[in-house]
């Protein structure tokens, strides 16, 4: 029988004040200041929600945004040539509501893909992403921006998915 609960998971994620900017340099602050995931907590609450990984993958709790109806937890995931920020949304009882990749960097062949996130004071998350060839200069015309919003009920609204 498990001795951990959802409140134990929440305690690993400090609440933050907005606005907040997430980029590749932010991860070192979280890994220095936040405790790592206890295995039992991670396995019970997070592992079932995340894609399969290998023994070289690392997860770090970053922060949370708590509202009346939900908790949005941001996790940093690092693996070989990839790191990303994942936002997982739970209701107040700990039921999973949804997730979104909100930042990161990925290298495949000669392509570098980057995504950064800015959390506004109203809770809107502005995402900027772009791809560049490692052998050429970055082309800003190849970048995209879109918004993510967590609705009052905890549902994630992604403006990009509504346009495609």
CA gap 19, 115 in Å, rounded: 17
pLDDT for the residue 139? 66
pLDDT for the residue 162? 43
pLDDT for the residue 3? 86
Query: Which of the residues in the chain have pLDDT under 70?
Result: 1-2, 138-140, 161-164
pLDDT for the residue 88? 98
pLDDT for the residue 10? 97
Backbone angles phi, psi at 147, to 5 degrees: -120, 150
């Amino acid at each position: 029988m498990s001795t951990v609960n959802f409140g134990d998971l929440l305690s690993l994620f400090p609440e933050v004040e907005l606005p907040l900017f997430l980029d590749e340099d932010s991860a070192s602050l979280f890994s220095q200041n936040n405790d790592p995931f206890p295995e039992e907590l991670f396995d019970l609450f997070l592992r079932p929600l995340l894609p399969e990984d290998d023994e070289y993958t690392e997860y770090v709790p970053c922060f949370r945004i708590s509202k009346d109806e939900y908790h949005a937890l941001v996790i940093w995931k690092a693996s070989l040539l990839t790191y990303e920020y994942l936002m997982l949304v739970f209701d107040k009882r700990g039921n999973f509501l949804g997730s979104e990749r909100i930042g990161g960097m990925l290298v495949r062949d000669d392509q570098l893909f980057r995504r950064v996130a800015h959390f506004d004071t109203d809770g809107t998350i502005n995402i900027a992403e772009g791809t560049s060839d490692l052998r050429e200069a970055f082309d800003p015309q190849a970048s995209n921006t879109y918004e993510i919003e967590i609705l009052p009920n905890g549902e994630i609204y992604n403006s990009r998915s509504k346009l495609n």
